[in-house]
């Protein structure tokens, strides 16, 4: 398995305060890694250590399988906290300046600006851009030089719903079409859930768990079936659909995978002379799961 | 390093402050020539030396260097540079080299321009260039380059435009006053620290020995300023 980014016991202390405690992040090629945690949990600090804008107290970062970080960082695009831009310059001038360091020619700049919808900003200075436009320009700059990993810290912060959708579409397109790997932090969990393939949950500087989105989805959602013979129903479902992750609680069946087969399961049970009183999908949601994991 | 140098030069030539500050000095040369003409000063060499003595080029440099060096920090764009794998050392030296070359070229140009302008106004006949004249001109270049390193160091450490400019301007004056105060406290027979402030060394150049002493101290001060700012910059987290 090709890892794009791994951290080994990454720790950051400010004086006696530990803001990041032995964090081990593992991001595979093609992942959209959602980094979630409360304010001050250590998300931005971890990203800064990965990008080298801040220094780790201990631990190590490995990028693209190498410890030669400054060389490997050329393959990363980033947007940390608020977009860092030359406010007295136009979008084009900002792109031109950074293209000297990041790579990319005028044609690339034009294409990237079009991709983020900033191709028609003309002579308007970046200082007069809306927050959404600045965020998009920040992403455009991060895309210069064809990065293989994009590190985005709160990329949809302060955006309106349309702006959020635009950023989401860009992320999905870049991931699918160009195979770019993402490390994204956000407070908007439901929004993050629409793009993320792996979650990293961080709390008080500790990475609590890394979990694939599919696994988390099944943990958050289940198919609830109320029938007159739960044991028989469980056996039938296992035999016919190969579903193993089934629980029985209070004469109710809970199925944690293959939720899309509810109609077929219902038909199977009825055809086998079982009375089915209720079939419903119960979704607790990412937010509840997150709160449960980090504690209130 | 090549990319960083290209990046810094590109930014420099697109910075309005660069043209404004350069233009102000040129304007001052022209204005000064008008004033000197009124005082019936009559040769280009005297005019150049008077310009060097009276126009505070280092103050204008202090403003420009503060604006330019702190720009990446105040915009936060320094994060983008470090995050792309450009080390603090490379960024530091690229900025230093670009501004060193620019400051050197500018001050040399101003001296040559004032001399040429003086020749144009008052003719080329009535002056002889002595060793003292050469000392005055070369030491002015050295003095400005030392002041450049000081302003660069302060701006790198402070990283905020307003504060950096203020300190660039105030600290050299303050250092003179403080040196007198320390000399008084230490009860030297004659001022010791004050006499080693660069401006005083500069004002007392009259032979090879004093010129060499001035040059040596300019170099020492420059190295110290660079070393301090380099070490602090390397530990900065953004």
- Write down the domain spans for chain B: 2-235
Mutate to test the interface with A, among B11, B84, B237, B238 (most CBs of A within 10 A): B84
The predicted structure's pLDDT at residue A268? 92
Length of chain A: 296
The predicted structure's pLDDT at residue B51? 81
Nearest to B84 among A54, A55, A74 (CB): A74
Over residues A119-166, the pLDDT tens digits come to 888 889 999 998 888 888 998 999 998 899 999 998 887 777 887 888
A72–B14: do the CB atoms touch at under 8 Å?
A: no
Window A:32-71, CB contacts with B under 8 Å: 48, 51-55, 69-71
Q: Name the residue of chain B whose CA is nearest to A127's CA.
A: B75
pLDDT of residue A14 exceeding 70, the answer is yes
Q: Are B5 and B100 in contact (CB under 8 A)?
A: no
**Alpha-carbon distance B156 to B78, whole Å?**
12
Mean pLDDT (whole number) for A54-79: 91
pLDDT of residue A50 exceeding 90, the answer is yes
Nearest to A206 by CA among A54, A37, A28: A37
Token pair in block for residue A239: 């035999």
Instruction: Tell me whether strands A221-227 and A252-255 are parallel, antiparallel or unpaired.
Output: antiparallel
Mutate to test the interface with A, among B11, B79, B91, B159 (most CBs of A within 10 A): B79
**Alpha-carbon distance A109 to A99, whole Å?**
8
Residues 6 or more apart whose CB falls under 8 angstroms from that of B169 comprise: B59, B62, B63
CB-based contact, B2 to chain A, within 8 Å? no
The whole-angstrom distance between B79's CA and the closest CA on chain A is 6
Q: What phi and psi, each to the nearest 5 degrees, are found at residue A4?
A: -85, -40
The number of C-alpha atoms within 13 Å of B70 and in the hemisphere containing its C-beta is 23
What's the angle, vertex CA A249, arms to CA A246 and CA A254, rounded to 5? 35
**Alpha-carbon distance A91 to A87, whole Å?**
9
B77–A71: do the CB atoms touch at under 8 Å?
A: no
H helices present in A73-212, as ranges:
91-102, 106-115, 131-143, 161-178, 189-193
Residues of chain B with pLDDT under 50: none
The predicted structure's pLDDT at residue B97? 94
Q: Are A166 and A117 in contact (CB under 8 A)?
A: yes
Nearest to B208 by CA among B149, B108, B138, B107: B138
Which residues of chain B lie closer than 8 angstroms to A84, CB-CB? 75-80
Contacts 24+ apart (CB under 8 A), B87-95: B87/A70, B88/B233, B88/B234, B88/B236, B89/B230, B89/B234, B90/B1, B90/B4, B91/B4, B92/B156, B92/B229, B92/B230, B92/B233, B92/B234, B93/B1, B94/B1, B94/B4, B94/B5, B94/B7, B94/B8, B95/B8, B95/B69, B95/B152, B95/B156
**Alpha-carbon distance A272 to A236, whole Å?**
9
Q: Are A17 and A70 in contact (CB under 8 A)?
A: no
Which residues of chain A lie closer than 8 angstroms to B76, CB-CB? 81-82, 84-85
B14–A93: do the CB atoms touch at under 8 Å?
A: yes
A54–B237: do the CB atoms touch at under 8 Å?
A: yes
**Alpha-carbon distance B128 to B108, whole Å?**
20
Which residues of chain B lie closer than 8 angstroms to A12, CB-CB? none
pLDDT of residue A296 exceeding 60, the answer is no
The whole-angstrom distance between A280's CA and the closest CA on chain B is 48
**Alpha-carbon distance B180 to B182, whole Å?**
6
Q: Is the dihedral of CA A125, A128, A129, A131 positive or negative?
A: positive
Concatenate the DSSP letters of all residues of B103-153 into one string.
Answer: HHHHHHHHHHHHHHHHHHHH-SSS----HHHHHHHHHHHHHHHHHHHHHHH
B85–A73: do the CB atoms touch at under 8 Å?
A: yes
Which residues of chain A lie closer than 8 angstroms to B16, CB-CB? 88
- Give me the residue label for tokens 């193993």: A244
CB-CB neighbours of B162 under 10 Å: 12
pLDDT of residue A209 exceeding 90, the answer is no
Angle of helix A161-178 relative to helix A131-143, nearest 10 degrees, comes to: 10
Which residues of chain B lie closer than 8 angstroms to A98, CB-CB? 80
A179-183, A238-242, B33-37, B156-160 — which is least confidently predicted?
B33-37
A78–B6: do the CB atoms touch at under 8 Å?
A: no
CB-based contact, B88 to chain A, within 8 Å? no
Nearest to B83 among A73, A82, A93 (CB): A73
CB-based contact, A86 to chain B, within 8 Å? yes
The predicted structure's pLDDT at residue A1? 66
H helices present in A156-242, as ranges:
161-178, 189-193, 213-220, 230-241
ipTM, interface predicted TM-score of the complex: 0.79
Token pair in block for residue A132: 């959404």
**Alpha-carbon distance B117 to B41, whole Å?**
13
Nearest to B238 among A53, A96, A98 (CB): A53
What's the angle, vertex CA A228, arms to CA A223 and CA A232, rounded to 5? 75
For chains A and B, count residue pairs whose Cβ atoms are closer than 8 Å. Answer: 74
The whole-angstrom distance between A52's CA and the closest CA on chain B is 6
Q: Is the dihedral of CA A153, A155, A159, A165 positive or negative?
A: negative
The predicted structure's pLDDT at residue A100? 94
A253: left (phi over 0), alpha (psi -120 to 50) or beta: beta
Give the bridge partners for A58, in sequence order. Answer: A11
Which residues of chain B lie closer than 8 angstroms to A95, CB-CB? none
Residues 6 or more apart whose CB falls under 8 angstroms from that of A276 comprise: A225, A226, A227, A266, A269, A270
Mutate to test the interface with B, among A44, A51, A87 (most CBs of B within 10 A): A51
Token pair in block for residue B223: 């190295």
Q: Rounded mean pLDDT of chain A? A: 88
Residues 6 or more apart whose CB falls under 8 angstroms from that of B82 comprise: A51, A52, A53, B88, B91, B238
Mutate to test the interface with B, among A49, A70, A150 (most CBs of B within 10 A): A70
Mutate to test the interface with B, among A100, A104, A145 (most CBs of B within 10 A): A100
């Amino acid at each position: 398995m090709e890892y794009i980014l791994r951290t080994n016991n990454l720790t950051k202390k400010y004086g006696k305060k530990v803001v990041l405690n032995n964090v081990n992040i593992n991001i595979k090629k093609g992942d959209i890694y959602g980094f979630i945690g409360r304010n001050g949990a250590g998300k931005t600090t971890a990203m800064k250590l990965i990008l080298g804008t801040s220094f780790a107290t201990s631990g190590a970062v490995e990028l693209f399988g190498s410890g030669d970080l400054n060389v490997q960082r050329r393959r990363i695009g980033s947007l940390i906290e608020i977009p860092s831009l030359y406010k007295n310059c136009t979008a084009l001038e900002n792109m031109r300046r950074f293209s000297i360091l990041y790579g990319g020619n005028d044609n690339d700049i034009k294409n990237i600006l079009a991709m983020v919808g900033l191709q028609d900003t003309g002579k308007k200075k970046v200082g007069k851009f809306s927050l959404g436009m600045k965020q998009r320009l920040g992403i455009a700059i991060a895309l210069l030089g064809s990065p293989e990993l994009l590190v985005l810290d709160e990329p949809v912060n302060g955006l309106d719903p349309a702006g959020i959708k635009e950023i989401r579409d860009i992320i999905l397109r870049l991931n699918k079409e160009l195979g770019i790997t993402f490390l994204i932090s956000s407070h908007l969990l439901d929004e993050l859930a629409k793009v993320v393939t792996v979650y990293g949950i961080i709390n008080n500087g500790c990475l609590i768990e890394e979990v694939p989105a599919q696994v988390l989805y099944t943990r958050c959602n289940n198919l609830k079936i109320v029938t007159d013979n739960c044991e028989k129903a469980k056996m039938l479902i296992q035999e016919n659909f190969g579903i193993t992750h089934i629980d029985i609680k209070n004469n109710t069946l809970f199925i944690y995978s293959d939720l899309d087969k509810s109609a077929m399961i219902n038909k199977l049970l009825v055809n086998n002379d079982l009375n089915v009183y209720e079939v419903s999908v119960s979704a607790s949601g990412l937010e509840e799961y997150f709160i449960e994991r980090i504690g209130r | 390093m090549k990319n960083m140098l290209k990046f810094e030069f590109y930014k420099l030539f697109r910075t309005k402050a660069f043209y404004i500050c350069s233009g102000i000095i040129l304007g001052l040369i022209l204005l000064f020539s008008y004033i000197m003409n009124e005082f019936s000063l009559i040769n280009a060499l005297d005019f150049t030396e008077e310009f060097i003595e009276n126009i505070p080029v280092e103050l204008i440099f202090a403003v420009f260097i503060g604006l330019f060096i702190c720009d990446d920090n105040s915009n936060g764009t320094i994060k983008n540079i470090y995050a792309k794998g450009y080390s603090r050392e490379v960024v530091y030296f690229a900025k230093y080299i670009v501004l060193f070359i620019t400051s050197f070229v500018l001050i040399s140009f101003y001296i040559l321009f004032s001399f040429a302008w003086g020749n144009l106004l008052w003719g080329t006949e009535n002056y002889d260039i002595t060793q003292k004249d050469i000392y005055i001109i070369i030491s002015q270049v050295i003095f400005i380059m030392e002041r450049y390193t000081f302003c660069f160091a302060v701006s790198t450490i402070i990283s905020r435009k307003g504060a950096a400019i203020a300190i660039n301007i105030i600290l050299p004056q303050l250092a003179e006053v403080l040196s007198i105060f320390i000399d008084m406290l230490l009860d030297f027979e004659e001022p010791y620290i004050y006499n080693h402030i660069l401006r005083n060394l500069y004002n007392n150049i009259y032979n090879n020995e004093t010129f060499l002493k001035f040059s040596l101290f300019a170099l020492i001060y420059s190295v110290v300023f660079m070393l301090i700012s380099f070490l602090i910059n390397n530990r900065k987290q953004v």
